[in-house]
């Protein structure tokens, strides 16, 4: 549950935003997309104080929502989704429009089935990011019961008598799920990047 909810939320937001930037025509679309891309140039550390204040003002500090919501709209995921959706032939979209389908139906019945490699890439990148994230959960959580695995490893090392045996035992455990996930999604991962135009 701890990993599935942020992954699901981030993938849904990325897919919807990427589709909007790729296929919908609205005023200021390119400017908004460039602003979204510009956020990738801002170091995470530079916005942590502002994020912390926002999370505190919303009353979700110390909960998983405080960790999940700030990263729900990942700029790289939106960029990747947009590039993928631009690569879908216009003829397929136009044929569906001629049949009387609206944008929601086109997205759900045409675009999403063609986007399995993209969805696999977004799931994998989001899971890896949330699994390995250290700094933001350390700031946003204040309960030992809610801490993530990287923070738990830090606490094992920071005790008065560090437990190196437990730390070395937990280190492979923290890596193995992501390695297994990557190996199982590897084919989709390569296809997703290849079809989105990322080289």
CATH number of the domain that 70 lies in? Answer: 1.10.3720.10
Residue 100 lies in a domain: yes
Query: Within the chain, where are the H helices?
Result: 4-23, 29-38, 44-58, 64-68, 75-86, 90-98, 103-106, 112-114, 116-132, 135-140, 149-157, 164-195
Question: Which residue range forms the structural domain that includes residue 74?
Answer: 4-142+185-195
Residue 46 lies in a domain: yes
Residue 158 lies in a domain: no
Residue 65 lies in a domain: yes
CA 196 to chain centre: 16
Residue 170 lies in a domain: no
* C-alpha span between 93 and 91 (Å, rounded): 5
Residue 156 lies in a domain: no
Each residue's pLDDT expressed in tens, for the chain with a length of 199 residues:
556 777 888 899 999 999 999 988 899 999 999 999 999 999 888 988 988 999 899 898 988 888 888 888 888 999 999 999 998 888 888 888 888 888 888 898 888 998 888 898 888 888 888 888 888 888 888 887 878 878 877 777 766 667 777 778 878 888 888 888 878 877 776 766 666 555 4
| Number of domains present in the structure of the chain | 1
- Which pTM value belongs to this model? 0.81
Residue 64 lies in a domain: yes
Residue 173 lies in a domain: no
């Amino acid at each position: 549950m701890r990993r599935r909810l942020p992954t699901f939320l981030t993938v849904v937001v990325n897919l919807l935003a990427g589709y909007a930037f790729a296929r919908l025509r609205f005023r200021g679309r390119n400017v908004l997309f460039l602003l979204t891309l510009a956020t990738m140039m801002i170091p995470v550390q530079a916005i942590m104080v502002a994020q912390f204040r926002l999370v505190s003002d919303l009353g979700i500090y110390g909960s998983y929502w405080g960790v999940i919501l700030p990263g729900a709209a990942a700029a790289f995921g939106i960029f990747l989704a947009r590039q993928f959706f631009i690569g879908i032939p216009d003829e397929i979209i136009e044929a569906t429009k001629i049949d009387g389908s609206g944008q929601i139906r086109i997205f759900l019945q045409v675009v999403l089935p063609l986007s399995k490699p993209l969805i696999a890439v977004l799931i994998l990148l989001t899971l890896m990011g949330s699994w390995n994230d250290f700094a933001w959960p350390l700031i946003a959580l204040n309960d030992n019961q809610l801490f993530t695995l990287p923070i738990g490893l830090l606490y094992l090392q920071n005790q008065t008598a560090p437990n190196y045996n437990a730390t070395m035992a937990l280190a492979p455990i923290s890596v193995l799920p992501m390695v297994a996930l990557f190996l199982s999604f590897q084919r989709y991962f390569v296809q997703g990047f290849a079809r989105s135009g990322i080289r």
